[in-house]
Amino acid sequence: MLTPATEWQKIEQEPGGIAPLFLGYVAILAAIPPIADFLCLAVIGEIDANGTTVRMPIVTALLSALFDYVLSFVVVYVLGYIVDMLARRFGGENDFSNALKLAAYAMTPYWLAGIFLLIPGLRFLAMFGFYGAYLVWTGLPELMKSPPDRTLGYTAAVVACAFAIYLALVIAGHTLFPFPRP
């Protein structure tokens, strides 16, 4: 995350494949936000306007966390597919393996920032996950061979798709697992 220009070169050389990437990387980091959110909502609780601590029922919070965790894998796969599908449109080269790497590694800031979901007053710090957009911008030329003059548009398209996916999942999650927020 700190030196993406040099890291993307190393990442490009890594062997591809869904299983190693998902089992060795996504499975570990994608667990951070759901675990932190579960602990906050079901154990710690949030303070409502009346000063009362409100907690989500354990089973509902657990199902919500499992839903979020499983969907992390879906999001990485779909985002990888989108990155690969858009490659030619923005002058890049199709390479699903590299697109999947880009999607997974660009999600790292989001997953790490998920630790802030643990403490109600710090939940807003999860916005540090937006650093992933910068990682996409630096990774597209290296992994997808995007020309520099088209990388900004390519990045904007990928980030817009990622945001739309995120928004749809938040709506789905709140619909399936309603919880009165303070």
Q: Is pLDDT of 2 > 80?
A: no
9 is written with which tokens? 């070169």
User: Distances from the Cα of 30 to the Cαs of 19, 34, 75, 149, in angstroms?
Assistant: 15, 8, 11, 32
Question: Across the chain, how many H-helices and E-strands are there?
Answer: 9, 2
pTM metric for this prediction: 0.88
Residue corresponding to tokens 């994608």: 30
Encoded amino acid at 96, one letter: F
pLDDT at 179: 67
Average pLDDT for residues 17-28, to the nearest whole number?
A: 93
What is the pLDDT at residue 181?
Answer: 53
Least confident of 78-82, 102-106, 128-132, 143-147: 128-132
Residue 180 is predicted with a pLDDT of 61
Distance CA 134, CA 106 (A): 8
- For residue 168, give both structure tokens: 């749809």
Confidence check: pLDDT of 73 > 80:
yes
